[in-house]
Each structure stands twice: as C-alpha cells, then as structure tokens.
Amino acid sequence: MSATTAAVRHPWHKLLYVQVLIAILLGVILGVVAPETAKSLKWLGDGFVSLIRMMIAPVIFCTIVHGIASMGDLSKAGRVGIKALFYFEVVSTFALVIGVVVAELAHPGSSFGVDPRTLNPAAVATYATAAAKDSVVSHILGLIPSTFLNAIVGGDLLQTLLISVLTGIAVTGLGEYAAPVGHAIDIMGRIFFRIIGMIVKLAPLGAFGAMAFTIGQYGLSSLGNLAGLVATFYLTSILFVVVVLGTIARMAGFSIFRFIAYIKDELLIVLGTSSSETVLPQMMTKMEQLGASRSVVGLVVPTGYSFNLDGTNIYMTLTTLFLAQAVGAHLSFGQYAVIVAVAMLTSKGASGVTGAGFITLAATLAAIPDSPVPVAAMTLVLGIDKFMSECRALTNLVGNGVATIVISAWEGDLDRAKLKDALTRRIG
C-alpha cells in the first residue's frame, strides 16, 4: 500500500460505515427493550430521508444535462441509453424468472392452507386503490409533469428524467451558444453534491431512528410463521447477486465481492433506511471514482433507479406465487407468463422507497386475468413487508452499481486502472 493511501486512513470510529452499523445495532436493541420509545424516534429516519430526497431531483437534473452535453454527440447519448435499457430488461427478466423458479422449487406458501373468504380486504384497501390506478396509460401519463419545474419541485424521479433528457438534448443541439448554460449547470451540480456531503454525515442518526422504529413497531416476533418466506427471499436475492450479478461482473473484469465491499457505506445506509434513494447521489460519485465516465454515470444510475429493480422483481414473482400457494390456487402456464409480463411493467418507477414494492405487488395481482389469488391475500405478508423492503433496496442498489460499470465498459469509457485501484485498496 502506498504512503498516499495510508495517509488518508482514519480511526475506525470515524468511518461512516462503522458509525451506521453501530447505529443500526443500537436501534435494534432499543426496539426490543423499549418499543414505545423506539417508535417515537421515527422522525429521525424520516427527517434524514427527506433531507436526501429534497436533493435528488436537482442532482439528477444537473448530472444528466451535463452528462449529455459533455458527450457533445447526441448519437452517443442515444447509444448509451439504448444499451442501458437493453441491459436492464435482460437482467430484470432474469430476476423475475428466478423468483418464479425459486417459488416452484421451495413452495414457501404451500403449508398455509388459507381460506380466501377469511381474508380482510380492508387491511390492504389503500394499496389496492393505488394499484387500481397503475396501468399502461397511467404510467405513460405519469411521465409528464404538469409544468417543467413541477418535476423538480415534486421530486418525481421519472418526470425528472424526462425533463433532464430533453434539456440535455436541447443544450447539446445549441452547441457553443449554450456552452455557458452547460457550465453553469455543472457548477450547480457540484454545489448540490457538496450539500449532499453535509447531509450524509447525519446517516447514523437516520439509520438509528428508522431501525428503532421498525423493530419497535413490528417486532422481531412479527416474522413468526412467515420467517420462511423472508428467509427464502433473502437467500434468493443473495444467490442472484453472487451468481447472476457476480457472473456479469466477472465478465466485465471485476469481483462482485470487492464491489460490495467498496459500496459498504451505502449498503448500510440503505439497510438502516430501507430506501436506496438515500444513497443515489453518493453512488453516482462512487461510480465515477471506480472509473466509469461521468456522462455514462449521469445517464445510467438515475435511469436504473426506475428501470433496473432486480430486488423488486424477485420480490414480486416470489411473493405472488407464495400467496397463490397459501390460498391453494393453481396457476396455468399462461398466468405465469402474465405475472412475469405484468411485473415487468409495474416494477418500473418503483424505486427503493419503502412501500412502493407492496403497491406494485397489488397491481400485479390485480392484473392477472381470471386470477384465483385475491388482492386481499396481501394481508398475509403485510406485517413482514418492512423486513423485505430492505432486501429489495439492497439488491436494487448492487444491481444498479454493476450495471453502471458494465455499460461504461461496454461503451469503452471505463478507466480500468481506476477500477482496479479502487477495488483492491484496503478497506477503511
């Protein structure tokens, strides 16, 4: 190890991932020992997530616009976008099919024998109402903000992507005439990232409050008989990361295990907050430090948060078949195909925010033709969804990081020397 590397080493207690890990453990302990007190600390987690989310839309706007403009060639931006979408759809399909295969092999719901008539639809009425609005038309219309600024002010990720791409294309098309605008947007982006750096220092507090509330509100005992489903989902996600993403990473010339170690800070923050959005800006910075070009990072990472949700895809097919098995429903091959196709659509836009995966699950169940699985069956997993949302967000995060490096390499914009140096550097 070089003297330069050694010089930047910090005491262990000042490392962010250590602070977040300690905060998570303290949150779990408080949730078990004093659940009422733990539940009152929910505002700490909510506050941290809100601080991060207020910066996501402007960061994405500045990054994408500058990324497209810096390419100086709209054909390159289009090529990167097409490659990214192709990669997302292929890997997402793998995730959906893996969820089906594991459910058929493990049969996690076959021992429940639930009578659908005993289920309480009111318990999931809110999710069912939201799912009823989830259609192809609503997805398309949902991309369009009411005004240009409303997308950024409202913080909608898909709408922000739309106006960012349009602005980037316009700035590039104007050439040198719009160069000052591109420079100004780059400066604003750097300012926003500096603000993010300040907010991230509060991550331990946010993780502590969020984890304390989760354990205090739901309790470890709420897992109960559904622990098998949770364990199956976590193991499936781990296998997906190690085998599928690991193979893709190896083909691109890096180790999935070293990559996971590299983003340990972000993974722990996501574990504590159950939202992958809380680390979106940091992930963009880290992908650049890994050697991916800034223009590719600016396009792929934000797009992946809406279109490359591997954990959410595994969750939807696995849980859908779990519910079918729990109520004794038998699905035809055609219905299996519809589940995969519908889940591919409904997962889009379900970024790692807590609860989004549950709504998309309701939309998937509601869209199955002649479905023998009532939406009310979701009451069976309502109590454990919070524990599963963390795994969804973690898997989504790793998947998007791998996608960024792979597409940058595919485009020929990956600095292999920086990649090797970052992944082989001693942890800490």
CATH of the domain at 403: 1.10.3860.10
Considering the entire predicted model, what is its pTM?
A: 0.78
Q: What are phi and psi of 155, to 5 degrees?
A: 75, 15
Q: Buried (b) or exposed (e) across 311-322, using 16+ Cβ within 10 A?
A: bbbbbbbbbbbb
What does each of the 428 residues of the chain score in pLDDT, given as a tens digit?
Answer: 444 444 456 676 677 777 888 888 898 899 888 888 988 888 888 888 788 778 878 888 887 887 777 766 677 778 888 898 899 999 999 999 999 999 889 888 777 766 666 655 555 555 555 555 555 566 667 678 878 888 777 767 778 878 888 888 888 878 777 778 878 888 888 888 888 888 888 888 888 888 888 788 777 765 666 788 889 999 999 999 999 999 999 999 999 999 999 999 899 888 887 777 788 888 988 999 999 988 888 888 888 887 888 998 898 889 888 888 888 877 778 888 888 887 777 666 555 444 556 667 777 777 676 667 777 777 777 767 777 888 888 999 999 999 999 999 998 889 999 999 988 874 44
The pLDDT of residue 16 is 74
Residue in the structure block whose two tokens are 């800070």: 265
Tell me, what DSSP letter sits at residue 109? Answer: T
Structural tokens at position 69: 């403009």
CA distance 325 to 169: 49
Q: Are residues 168 and 68 in contact, defined by beta-carbon separation less than 8 angstroms?
A: yes
Burial class (CB in 10 A: 0-12, 13-18, 19+), 159: buried
Where in the sequence is the domain holding 149, given as residue range(s)? Answer: 3-424
The total domain count for the chain is 1
Structural tokens at position 26: 């303290």
The pLDDT of residue 179 is 79
